[in-house]
C-alpha cells in the first residue's frame, strides 16, 4: 500500500487500549453490554473490509498486513490486530466535555389545553445501548419491537410533575410512576383535567391515565397499544373518550413460513422512479410478518373510568381520526399487494368513514400502490384526507387534475373536495389550485380554512383563505419557501375540546406567529391579520438580546410566552397590561458555558451572495491568540440570491449543546464556526450543475473571513458536517485544498447509489449523468489528500445514507493510500442517541482534530522533563 505524508505532520493518537502507545488515551469506559455484542466499533469494520477486499478490487486491502501498514502510517498501529480481536471499549472525551454530556436535561414545560395546569416532564437524555440492542424487526420502513409492538427508540419519560400554570409559587404534585418498563409519550386530554402516559414492558405497550388534580395514575386494563407502524395515534372523540390502535386479542403466534425459493421481482415497461429506502420487505416471509404485526384493533377507551371495548374488525390501520365533534371516524388501512421497493406509507390504502362503533359507512377510496409516480408527482385520484374539526363533520380530500404528473401542462394541478354527512351523497369541489397542494388547516370559526399550495419549480408558496362552503377563496400571502425576513408567520394553533388543533382567531382576525428574522437575528412575534382588509397589527415581538416566543393567548388578551437568554434556559412568562410575571424558574444546568463567547458574523462571497456563521470562542481563548477551528455546515438550495443571504438564529437563544454537537469541542479549546451558510443558488431544475463551484466559493469566503477576524489560524481549519453536510464536506476535501482535514458523519458519497434524486435534485442519474458523477466524491477519492474521519450509524434509517456509503469511501481511500478512519457505531441510526456513542463521537472528533490541526492548548502546557513519562 502506498504511503503519503500530509503537508503538515499528522499526529494521530492511538486508538486501541492505553497499552497500544506510550501516549495514554483519555479515560476509556468499558461498556459491559458492549462486550456481549458481536460487533465493535472499528475492529469489526476492518475484518469486514478484509473480507470485501477482493470484491472491491482494492488490492491494498487484500491482507491484514496491508491494513497494518496503513495503520502504522497513520499512527494507528493499535488497530491492526488479528481478525479475532475483541471489540474496542467505548472511548470518553475530556473531563470538560464529559461534564456537558452528563449534565441533566431541562424538563419540557407543557401547558394544559385549558391553560390552567402545567406539566414539567423530564425526559431521558440518551437511549441506553442495551435498549438499542434489543431484538427488533425492520419491515417496510418500520422498526419496532415485536414483543410489545412499540417503536424501538423511545424518548423515555423519567419524571412528571404537575402544578397550577398561573401560580408561580403553587405546590408541585409528583406523579408517582410505578417501577418497571419504560414510560413515554405524555399527552394531555383535551380539557386538561386528565392526561395519558404509555409504559413499555417486555410484553406490551400499556396505556395509563392520570388525574391533573392529584397526579394519581390508573391503568387502562386490557389495552395493549399497537405502535409498530403508526406510533401513538389517538383520536379524541371528546374530553374523556378516544379511539386507539391496539394489538388484537386473536393475533396468535407470528407466521413461520420458510423461505423455500428465490425472491423475485419484475417490471414491465412502466417507469417507477423510487428513492432508495432502508428496511424494505424482501420476500414473502417478510410480507407475512409485516401483515401479522401491523394488524390492529380499533379500541374505544374511557380515560375517566379506565374501561375499554373493541369496535369494528381488525385491519392494517395506519391512521384513525375523529370527525367533527366525535360523530364519526376516519380510518386508513393498508391492503395487499405490498411492495419490495416502497415503504408502507406507499402501499395500497383503503380510506373509510365509520360510525363511532366502528361500522363502515362508506369506502371513500382505495388508493393504489404508489408505483409509477413521477419524481415530485402525486397519485391520480383522491389522496390526503382531512376530517373537519367542527360540528359540520365534513370530510375533505385532494385530487390531482394533471394525472399527478408535474410534467403535464395543466391550468390547475389539484382540487379540494368535500363530503358532508351522512356521507352517502356526492362530494363537491371546494377549490382548484394552479400549483400542488401542500396543506389544509382549519380556523376555529368553523367556516374557513387555510389552503397552501407550492410551485415546486421555483420554490414558491401561496396561502389562501378558503371558505369551506365552496365560495371563492382569497389569497392571503405568498413567498419563497426559503423566505425568512418577510415571512408572514404560521397560524397560531390551539386545541379544541375534541382534541383537534385549529388556527386561532381573535375577534374574527387570524393570529400568526413567526420567527421575526432579520439582519440582527430572530425576534419571534405574534400578529393579528384582518381577514377583511388584510391589514396586520403586531401584538407582540421579542426584544433584542432575548428570545421570547408566544405560547398561548388568553381570551382576556393575557399572553403566555417562553423566554430565554444566552445563559438563561427557557422559562414561561405571563404578560398582562405591560406587567411581566415569571411563571417558572428553571436553572442553567451548564453554567460552565458562560465563558463561551458567541457572535453572528456576516460577509459576502465573491459574487456578492451574503453568507454568515456563528463564531463560538472557547472559554480560555486569550487576547490576540489564534486557534485552530472547525467549520460545521449544511448546504441549502435557493432560487434567489437575496433570500440565500438572509440570516437565521438569535444571539438570545439559550446556549445548550446536544450530545453529538461539534460545539462540545469548545471545551477542548477549538474555535467552532457553526451553521456556516452554504447556499447553492440557481434555477431549481439545474442548480446542482454548479454545486461544486458554489460550495467552493462559500468555503473560500468562510476561510478568508475567519482569518480576518484574527482568532483563527487559517492554516489550521477543518471542515465537517452531518448527512448532506457530510456530503458537502467530502466534496470540499476532494476538490479544494482549503482545509487541513475533514469530519463526515452519516453521509452519502456515491450519487450513483441514489439514482432517482437526492435532496432537491429532481433529475435522475440518466437525465443528468455528468452532474451525478461530478457530485460523487467517491469517484474523486484519489484527490482527497488530507485526513478524513468517517462516522456512521450501523443502523442508519435515512433514505440514501446507508452505511455502505462510508464503508466504500473508506475502502477506496485505503486502497489509494489515503489517510482515513472509519467508525461504525453499533445499533445507531441516522442520529446517534446512546451516551456511549455520544462520548465516542466527541472523542473521535477531538482526537482527529488534535492530529491534523493540533492541540489548541499544547503550547500552554509545560514540557515534561527529560526522561519523564509522556503520558497525558
Q: Show the CA angle centred on residue 712, arms to residues 711 and 718, nearest 5°.
A: 155
Whether a cis peptide bond, with omega within 30° of 0, leads into 337 is yes
Phi, psi (deg, nearest 5) at residue 109: -100, 110
Q: d(Cα 309, Cα 207) in Å, to the nearest integer?
A: 14
Instruction: Find out whether 601 and 689 touch, Cβ atoms under 8 Å.
Output: no
Q: In the structure grid, which three cell numbers stand for residue 227, read together?
A: 405502535
Beta partners for residue 333, in sequence order: 317, 350
> What would the grid cell of residue 176 be?
408517582
- Whole-number Å distance between alpha carbons of 852 and 739: 10
Find the catalytic residue in 112, 723, 746, 776: 723
Beta strand spans in 583-642 (E): 597-604, 610-617, 627-638
Tell me the residue ranges of DSSP E strands in 447-535: 448-455, 460-467, 474-480, 490-491, 493-495, 501-503, 505-506, 509-514, 517-518, 521-522, 525-529
What does the buried/exposed string (b/e) look like for 416-443 if buried means 16 or more CB atoms within 10 Å of the residue's CB? Answer: bbbbebebeeebeebbebebbbbebbbb
Written as nine digits, the cell of 573 is 412568562
The secondary structure of 282-316 as a DSSP string is -SHHHHHHHHHHH-BEEEEEETTT--EEE-S--BE
- SS3 at position 532: coil
The C-alpha atoms of residue 703 and residue 701 are separated, in whole angstroms, by 6
CA distance 233 to 241: 14
Residues 6+ apart with CB under 8 A from 291: 316, 336, 338
Task: Please list, in sequence order, all residues whose beta carbon lies within 8 angstroms of the beta carbon of residue 625, skipping any fewer than 6 positions away.
Answer: 711
The answer to whether 331 touches 361, Cβ cutoff 8 Å, is no
Q: Please say whether the beta carbons of 368 and 348 come within 8 A.
A: yes
830 is catalytic: yes
Cell numbers found for residue 149: 409492538
Residue 727 cell numbers, joined: 456530503
Strand pairing report for 414-419 and 428-433: antiparallel
Bridge partners for 568 per DSSP: 565
Q: At what angle do helices 43-56 and 64-73 cross, to 10 degrees?
A: 120
Please state, in angstroms and rounded to a whole number, the distance separating the CA atoms of residues 788 and 42. Answer: 15
Distance CA 525, CA 373 (A): 40
- DSSP state letters, 224-273: EB--SSSTT-EEESSSSEEEEEE--TT--SPP-----S-------S----
Active site residue 345: no
CA dist., res. 436 & res. 471, Å (int): 20
Contact indicator for 573, 580 with CB cutoff of 8 Å:
yes
Note whether 632 and 580 are within 8 A (CB): no
Considering 796, 806, 837, 846, which one is annotated as catalytic?
796
Other Cβ atoms less than 10 A from the Cβ of 391: the count is 12
What is the C-alpha separation between 436 and 475, in angstroms, rounded? 15
Nearest to 97 by CA among 657, 632, 851: 657
* Helix-helix angle 804-815:43-56, to 10 degrees: 70
Does residue 395 contact residue 353 with C-beta atoms inside 8 Å?
Answer: yes
Q: How many residues belong to the chain?
A: 872
Q: Are strands 597-604 and 610-617 parallel, antiparallel or unpaired?
A: antiparallel
- Kindly calculate the radius of gyration of the chain based on its CA atoms and give it in whole angstroms: 28
Q: Is 735 a catalytic residue?
A: no
Task: Give the active site residues.
Answer: 723, 796, 830
Amino acid at each position: 500500500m502506498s504511503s503519503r505524508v500530509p503537508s503538515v505532520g499528522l499526529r494521530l493518537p492511538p486508538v486501541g487500549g492505553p497499552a497500544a502507545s506510550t501516549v495514554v488515551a483519555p479515560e476509556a469506559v468499558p461498556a459491559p453490554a458492549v462486550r456481549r455484542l458481536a460487533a465493535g466499533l472499528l475492529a469489526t469494520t476492518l475484518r469486514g473490509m478484509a473480507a470485501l477486499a477482493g470484491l472491491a478490487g482494492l488490492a491494498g486491502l487484500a491482507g491484514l498486513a496491508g491494513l497494518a501498514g496503513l495503520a502504522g502510517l497513520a499512527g494507528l498501529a493499535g488497530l491492526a490486530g488479528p481478525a479475532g480481536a475483541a471489540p474496542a471499549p467505548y472511548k470518553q472525551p475530556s473531563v470538560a466535555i464529559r461534564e456537558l454530556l452528563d449534565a441533566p436535561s431541562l424538563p419540557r414545560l407543557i401547558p394544559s389545553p385549558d391553560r390552567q395546569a402545567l406539566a414539567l416532564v423530564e425526559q431521558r437524555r440518551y437511549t441506553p445501548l442495551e435498549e438499542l440492542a434489543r431484538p427488533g424487526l425492520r419491515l417496510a420502513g418500520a422498526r419496532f419491537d415485536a414483543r410489545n409492538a412499540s417503536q424501538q427508540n423511545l424518548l423515555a419519560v423519567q419524571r412528571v410533575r404537575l402544578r397550577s400554570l398561573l401560580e408561580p409559587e403553587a405546590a408541585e404534585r409528583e406523579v408517582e410512576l410505578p417501577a418497571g418498563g419504560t414510560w413515554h409519550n405524555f399527552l394531555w386530554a383535551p380539557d386538561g383535567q386528565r392526561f395519558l402516559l404509555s409504559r413499555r414492558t417486555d410484553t406490551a405497550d400499556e396505556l395509563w391515565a392520570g388525574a391533573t388534580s392529584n397526579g394519581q395514575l390508573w391503568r387502562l386494563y386490557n389495552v395493549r397499544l399497537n405502535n409498530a407502524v403508526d406510533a401513538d395515534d389517538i383520536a379524541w372523540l371528546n374530553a374523556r373518550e378516544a379511539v386507539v390502535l391496539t394489538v388484537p386479542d386473536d393475533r396468535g403466534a407470528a407466521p413461520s413460513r420458510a423461505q423455500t425459493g428465490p425472491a423475485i421481482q419484475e417490471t414491465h415497461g412502466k417507469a417507477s422512479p423510487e428513492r432508495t429506502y432502508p428496511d424494505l420487505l424482501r420476500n414473502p416471509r417478510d410480507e407475512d410478518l409485516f401483515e401479522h404485526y401491523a394488524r390492529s384493533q380499533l379500541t374505544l377507551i374511557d380515560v375517566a373510568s379506565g374501561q375499554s371495548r373493541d369496535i369494528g374488525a381488525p385491519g392494517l390501520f395506519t391512521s384513525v381520526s375523529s370527525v367533527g365533534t366525535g360523530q364519526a371516524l376516519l380510518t386508513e388501512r393498508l391492503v395487499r399487494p405490498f411492495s419490495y421497493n416502497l415503504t408502507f406509507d406507499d402501499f395500497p390504502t383503503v380510506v373509510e368513514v365509520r360510525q363511532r362503533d366502528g361500522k363502515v359507512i362508506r369506502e371513500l377510496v382505495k388508493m393504489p400502490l404508489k408505483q409509477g409516480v413521477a419524481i415530485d408527482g402525486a397519485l391520480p385520484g383522491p389522496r390526503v384526507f382531512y376530517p373537519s374539526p367542527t360540528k359540520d363533520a365534513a370530510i375533505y380530500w385532494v385530487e390531482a387534475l394533471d394525472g399527478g404528473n408535474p410534467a403535464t401542462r395543466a391550468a390547475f394541478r389539484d382540487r379540494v373536495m368535500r363530503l358532508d354527512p351522512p356521507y352517502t351523497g356526492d362530494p363537491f369541489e371546494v377549490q382548484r389550485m394552479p400549483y400542488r397542494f401542500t396543506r389544509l388547516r382549519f380556523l376555529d370559526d368553523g367556516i374557513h380554512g387555510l389552503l397552501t399550495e407550492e410551485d415546486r419549480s421555483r420554490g414558491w408558496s401561496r396561502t389562501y383563505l378558503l371558505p369551506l362552503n365552496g365560495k371563492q377563496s382569497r389569497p392571503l400571502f405568498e413567498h419563497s419557501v426559503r423566505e425568512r425576513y418577510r415571512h408572514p408567520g404560521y397560524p397560531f394553533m390551539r386545541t379544541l375540546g375534541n382534541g383537534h388543533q385549529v388556527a386561532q382567531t381573535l375577534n374574527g382576525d387570524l393570529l400568526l406567529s413567526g420567527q421575526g428574522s432579520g439582519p440582527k437575528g430572530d425576534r419571534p412575534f405574534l400578529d393579528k391579520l384582518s381577514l377583511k382588509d388584510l391589514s396586520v397589527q403586531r401584538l407582540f415581538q421579542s426584544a433584542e438580546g432575548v428570545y421570547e416566543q408566544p405560547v398561548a393567548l388568553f381570551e382576556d388578551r393575557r399572553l403566555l410566552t417562553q423566554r430565554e437568554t444566552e445563559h438563561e434556559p427557557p422559562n414561561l412568562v405571563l404578560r398582562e397590561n405591560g406587567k411581566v410575571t415569571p411563571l417558572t424558574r428553571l436553572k442553567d444546568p451548564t453554567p460552565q458555558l458562560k465563558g463561551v463567547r458567541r457572535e453572528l458574523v456576516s460577509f459576502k462571497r465573491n459574487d456578492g451572495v451574503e453568507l454568515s456563521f456563528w463564531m463560538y470562542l472557547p472559554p480560555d481563548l486569550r487576547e490576540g491568540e489564534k486557534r485552530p477551528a472547525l467549520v460545521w455546515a449544511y448546504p441549502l438550495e435557493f432560487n434567489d440570491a437575496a433570500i440565500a443571504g438572509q440570516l437565521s438564529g438569535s444571539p438570545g437563544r439559550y446556549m445548550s449543546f446536544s450530545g453529538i454537537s461539534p460545539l462540545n469541542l469548545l471545551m477542548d479549546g477549538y474555535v467552532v464556526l457553526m451553521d456556516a451558510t452554504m447556499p447553492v443558488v440557481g434555477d431549481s431544475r439545474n442548480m446542482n450543475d454548479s454545486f461544486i463551484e458554489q460550495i467552493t466559493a462559500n468555503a473560500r469566503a468562510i476561510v478568508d473571513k475567519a482569518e480576518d477576524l484574527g482568532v483563527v489560524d487559517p492554516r489550521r481549519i477543518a471542515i465537517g458536517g452531518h448527512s448532506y453536510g457530510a456530503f458537502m464536506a467530502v466534496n470540499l476535501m476532494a476538490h479544494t485544498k482549503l482545509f487541513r482535514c475533514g469530519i463526515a458523519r452519516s453521509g452519502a458519497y456515491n450519487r450513483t447509489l441514489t439514482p432517482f434524486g437526492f435532496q432537491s435534485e429532481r433529475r435522475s442519474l440518466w437525465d443528468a449523468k455528468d452532474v451525478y458523477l461530478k457530485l460523487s466524491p467517491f469517484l474523486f477519492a484519489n484527490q482527497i489528500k488530507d485526513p478524513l474521519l468517517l462516522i456512521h450509524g450501523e443502523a442508519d434509517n435515512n433514505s440514501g445514507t446507508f452505511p455502505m456509503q462510508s464503508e466504500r469511501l473508506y475502502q477506496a481511500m485505503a486502497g489509494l493510500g489515503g489517510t482515513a478512519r472509519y467508525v461504525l457505531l453499533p445499533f445507531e441510526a441516522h442520529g446517534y442517541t446512546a451516551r456511549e456513542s455520544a462520548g465516542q463521537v466527541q472523542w473521535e472528533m477531538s482526537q482527529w482534530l488534535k492530529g491534523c490541526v493540533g492541540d489548541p492548548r499544547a503550547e500552554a502546557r509545560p514540557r515534561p522533563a527529560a526522561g519523564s513519562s509522556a503520558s497525558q
